[in-house]
Amino acid sequence: MACFLQAPIAYAIVSSASASAAASSRAVRVPKPLKLSCGVLGARNAAKIPIPPINPKDPFLSKLASVASSSPETLVNSSANPDTPPFLDLFDSPKLMATPAQVERSVSYNEHRPKSPPPDLPSLLLNGRIVYIGMPLVPAVTELVVAELMYLQWMDPKQPIYLYINSTGTTRDDGETVGMETEGFAIYDALMQLQNEIHTVAVGAAIGQACLLLSAGTKGKRFMMPHAKAMIQQPRVPSSGLMPASDVLIRAKEVIINRDTLVELLAKHTGNSVETVADVMRRPFYMDANRAKEFGVIDRILWRGQEKCPGGGYYSLKLIS
């Protein structure tokens, strides 16, 4: 088998030389391979062409060895096409390696290409069991908050949930109604159905229905930033437009029912009587952190320090009251 492997190697050198000559002069014809016996090859070319060691794990050399043992004439009569590497036609579907430039481009592109879209901010907070209400209570906000609360309870019904509130409730800061009172009641009912502890923290403002959510946290776990504001007020009648008088009266009655419900819930969570809450709600009742604590809306005020803060980890805050 070794002697037959010498013939292709010798012919490869002849083919390479022939290809160079053909490139320099088109008139020169490539000589046909000679059919030499093993004895002639061994006598004439043994001293000139060294036999390289055969790696048994090399698929190309293994293929050549198998062809040489089964049909040696295939190697001797191999194609003399100068555009084709030697003996590549022995393979049914030869595959050449990509050029280094192609490999480098593909690696650099795939290396920096994101494998998945980056998560949004609510998803990142949800991973820390934090629900943030930073908008008025419109249907889209209610849908997201209720879904997050149900998901966190499903994930772990024993770990606490941290509800951060900075919302004007169902109205804007100028008093215009942007959502129905049922939006706030929907979040409140979801909080009441949870088995988890609810840690509420007011940052910025908690007005109207948002103040109810702040006071609905677990007793002893209701917090407020020192410069945040809380305010309770009566529900407002939505814009009636061109409604008939009878429809306006129906809406007014519904607003009164929502007001009475809000008064009862605030009295329940603040520890005040219904009469007290109804009296202070005749006009907008603003509360800073100290006044909100006195009224029973919150339990503690957070300030800068090294005390552990709701939301996990140390948040450089301490309880000042």
What is the reported pLDDT for 317? 42
302: three-class secondary structure by DSSP: strand
CATH number, domain with residue 227: 3.90.226.10
Mean per-residue pLDDT over the chain, rounded: 76
Model confidence band, residue 92 (pLDDT cutoffs 50, 70, 90): low
Average pLDDT in the 157-179 region?
89
Is 114 a residue whose pLDDT tops 90? no
Beta carbons of 19 and 84 less than 8 angstroms apart: no
Number of domains in the chain: 2
* pLDDT above 70 as % of the chain: 61
| Rg, Å, the chain Cα set | 42
pLDDT tens-digit series, residues 268-312: 999 999 999 999 999 999 999 999 999 999 999 987 653 455 555
What is the reported pLDDT for 284? 92
Domain that includes residue 297, residue range: 121-319
What is the reported pLDDT for 221? 94
Model confidence band, residue 75 (pLDDT cutoffs 50, 70, 90): low
Domain contains 165: yes
The last residue of a domain, from among 48, 77, 105: 105
pTM here? 0.60
Task: Flag the least confident range among 120-129, 182-191, 206-215.
Answer: 120-129
Phi, psi of 161, rounded to the nearest 5 degrees: -115, 135
* pLDDT above 90 as % of the chain: 43
Domain contains 210: yes
What is the reported pLDDT for 142? 95
Beta carbons within 8 Å of 233's beta carbon, 6+ residues apart: 171, 207, 208, 281, 283, 284, 285
Q: How far apart are CA 278 and CA 285, in angstroms?
A: 11
Verify that 101 and 125 share a domain, yes or no: no
- The more confidently predicted of residues 118 and 247 is 247
Verify that 230 and 266 share a domain, yes or no: yes
Is 157 a residue whose pLDDT tops 80? yes
260: its two tokens: 């009475």
The last residue of a domain, from among 79, 105, 131: 105
Domain contains 295: yes
